[in-house]
Each structure stands twice: as C-alpha cells, then as structure tokens.
Structure 1
C-alpha cells in the first residue's frame, strides 16, 4: 500500500507519523524519539517492519522559511542550498531538519520530499505587525517578525471551516496554540494579521522553558553582570526560563497545577502563564477590531479546563463567557449559549496537515479505484 511519511525534527527530538495515502488519510504509526541523531535508526526500523509500505512521499516541518519561502515546496538541491544560508536565522532547528532531509534522500532516493514551513501561514502579516523598531539595515537583512506554529494554524483554520463553515472561519478569529511552546494568531478573512511569536519562537507568551517577550535591557544587564556569551544566553532564554525558570521545578503545567497549593512558586508560574495568555488575547482582539471566535488548541489548550477557565475569567468585558460544564467536559464548544464570542476546543494535527501537503505537491494521492496507474512521480528531489 502507498504510504506518506511525516517527520517533525525539533532541536532535541523528532516526531514522526506514517499515513496510508489517499483522499482520506489513514494513520498507520505515530511516535516521538528523543535525540535528533536517533531519527535515522527509527526510520530504518519502520521500514523493516513494513510500516512504510510503498513510500510515495516524505514531508518535513521546517520551523523557519526566512523571508523568501512563504509556501510549502518540493525539496530540490536549490532549496537545500538556500536553506543552508538561513541557518543563522534558526541555528536551533534548521541544522537537524536539513540533516534529516539528507538522510531520507540517501535512504530513499527518488522519493519526493516536501518542506512545510512554520512561518508560511504568517506570510501576509501587515508591515506594522512584522516590522521591528531597529535600524533599517537589519530589516534589509531579514530581521523581522515572522511568526511560527503556522502548520498548526493552517490545520485549525481548515477544521474551523469544516465544523463551523467558511463564514465563521473568515470572521475575527483568535487561535490559541497552547503547549510547551505557546502562541496566538489573529486571523481575519482567513489571513493572519498578527501573532505573538516574532523573529524566533522564543518571543510572545511565556512558555515551558522559553521566556517569551522580554525587555532587551534584561539581556544587556545579564551580558554585563554575568559575562554570558551567545550560546549561554541562548540556553538561558530557550531552555532554562519560562515555567521551568519561574517554578524552579518543572516546565510541565500539569505538574505545576498539581503542586500549586503547596508550592507558591508553582502557583505563581501558573498565574503568570494564564495572565499573559489573557493579556495577549486582548491584544490580538485589538488587532482584529473585535472578536467573534476563540479557539483553544495544543496540549494545554485541548486538555486543561482549569487553565482555559482562568484565561477566560477576565475576558467577559468583550464577550467571552464559558459554560462551566461544557468546558469541564472539553466539549467542541465551551462558551455560553448567550455569549457573543464562541469559544471552541479543536485538537490540532500538524502531521496530518503536512501529509495532505505532501500528497498535493508530490502527486502522492492514489489513483481512482479500478485503475492501476500512478501519476508521474519522475521529478527528482534532493
């Protein structure tokens, strides 16, 4: 059977999923391995177990596409060379992602690979939303706000169209992707007009181990007072801060909620997180000129009624009011019937979104029933 493989390489782990190709994708396998260098071994095991079947396409989530890559693309040698030049924009993710593309090309030469960029969803950010207040020469070098979690937002927008219709989805919508990495996107008429993450995924909301937005003077102070170099500063901002830094114990919001009654630092970390999400929802609503729909997603957004309730408790002034029982049950709609703003819970699935894109760009969709011929897959990937 024809299969599509999706690999999602992070800085320290790799998620993977295998789907049986077709108009209705069928999941065959899904998992995560720690250590980006162990991905090749996992892929070899999948092939040996027959989980990949007839591999007809491979999709990759690439965190950063830079200023030029604003849509998914077939992987070619030219694209890889271009992405190599972007490593300075994303030294945390791009090297591992490009290494995995190379490993797949060597193992399955001739199988199309597709790059799906997390920044692409935000390609139409207006100038006022994407421009950083720094000297113009840096803007010309591509230092600007890009936004991330775009593959998730693309999936959520498609799901909102499916469950609520195009008219609702093209209204004033805030998507809240809340997990160990958290961000919001303000979407109007199906287009992102603002988002919380900026030049890197470290910006915006406080996250599991990332600072979110931070007064740059703090970093200057730390550079002067502790003599930090760039690598040490990167570790501090991306791996030692956020909920982990505030609590001193954990980056997992579930653990912090469990411990908050006995641990004031855990309680403060939870309070800061909920406050910041609530504050940023207000900012995104201002960018939209109002709010019609609020969508919670991601590991926290989908699974924590308590956090959703704390976030929404201060938003009644512009029409957000939860239905207690529906929220506790994680119902698809958790807002009160009389509330002006509809609040929804929609599980996200980046891997499905990538697999759909692979089929669309690589001609990996099976032929109609009753035929044996496959579409031409003669294009040469990297």
Structure 2
C-alpha cells in the first residue's frame, strides 16, 4: 500500500549517503528484499542514509513497480527498526521530462522524501551543449515534483553531459524545490565554486527553499575528497564506498568536519582520507559487480548485477579482495564495526 506524501519531508542533512545496490535472487533476477532490507539497516546503524534506484542500484534496470517496491520496503524496515527520521532519496531519472516527473510522484506516494534526477544520455549530442534545455529540464522537474529534487551530475552515465558550476548555481538560486547536487564528476573546483554561493550564510534568506527541511546541499559523488570538501564548506558525499565501509566513511566525514574547525584534527583526518581515497579509486574500477562481490565477502550477501551487466570472475574478485588498498580499508572498518566478517 502506498504511503501518504509528507507535507514536510524528513530533514536532508549534511553527511554520508549511500547509493544502495539492488540485490537480485540467483537465477530469476527477482528482487532480493531480505538482503536489501538488511543492508539498508546495516548502513542506517552506521549513520549512512539511503539513496535507492541510483546508478549503483541499477535504477536503469528496474521497472517503475520495482522502484516502488524498494522504496516501500526500505521505509517499512527503517520505521520498524526505529529509524523513523531517516530520509529516503530515490532515483527518478528516466528518458523524458514527462516520465521523470511521473516517477517523482510515484516515489513520493511510496514514501520517498527526496528525488535525485540525472539527465538522460540518449540524446546527449543535442543536450550536452544546450544550457537552456538542461536548465529547463531540472527547473520543470523541480517545479512539478511533489518532493524536493537533487541534481545528479554524472557525465559517465549521461552520455558525457557535465553541468558546470555556473548552471548548477543558477538552478540553485532560481528553483526553490531543488535540494542539492551530487557531483559524480569528481570536480573539486566545481564544488568549491558552488559552495561559495550556496554555503554562504546569506543564501537561505536570499533564496529560501520551498521546504524548510530541504536546504541545498553540495555532495561529492566519491569519498576521496571529503577532507577538501569540508574546507570548501561542502556537505558530505553520496558514495558507493559507504556500502562497503559505512563506519569508516562516516568517521572520515566527522573528522573532516572537525578539522575544518580545529586544525588539531587535521592530521588524523588526512591519514584516514588517504586510506579511503586509495580504496575508493581501486574499488570504483571494479564497478557494481565488484562492489557486490565485496559485500558478499564482508556481509554474506551481494549477488550479481542484473543482465546485461556481467559478473566479475573469481580471479578478479580474489585480486580485489587481496589488494592492499582494500585490505587497509577493511581493517579500518573492522576497527569500527564488529559485524565485518573476519
């Protein structure tokens, strides 16, 4: 049963968000909701907030109905475990503006608090150089969505479409239902320029949001620049690495925030950033299948991606698991989380 759309969404706060993988049953590729719910709760316990049906969640491989099932399952699991104030961000990007808006409404009815939207790369040849068309896309989606919307800037998944800092800042100032941006372009300079506007103390009064619980957050798409982001007044990250090492990623965010206020914390933050940065680079090259294989090793679930994405072979999994960057991350996570398999 669909849930009522909240008048005011649960608060969107700075911190660590994870694009949750969608787990599939062997053979049938049906949704494995038991593993999915277990993983959502594992991350919530570490202080990581969920993003569903994003790139890591293979949103492009899911039907509308499956996206709704995941949102409802996550909300039930979170509420039952006492995480009633943890917001759900749902991926709603599709091919057309019309269908994207439709999915925003469906996600809201299912219990999502926020939507995150990527531009389709199918017609990237037309869109990538057309600033007005791109601005019109997010403006209309934000205006017509019943829940606040985050911009998802990921050139690798949108045919090379890469929004610059000027356009993102224009959208932030002109669209009061936009609640942030995820920069999977990995551009720290872009993050710095956007934060110069949206993290300024005057921004909330000059450009108030439609929903008071939905400030405009500037979030990295990787965990390898959390320390530089904190010093630029960024707000954290939506990072796939948080699936593998949630406690470590949250600890790094906390240290980075402390270091930005107190230089005495900088050395510890830099040391952990080095471990996380190396691991993020190494694991990202293994993509979705590699991340799922690591989850299988660490927590006992993971499985395969949905076809046509290929699995990783046994030798590749072993090499990834034994890579010194991964071993350093696993040891850091074990020191903070006793649920990691020995």
TM-score by length of 1: 0.25
**Structure with more of its chain in strand, by fraction:** 1
Larger radius of gyration: 1
Higher-helix-fraction structure: 2
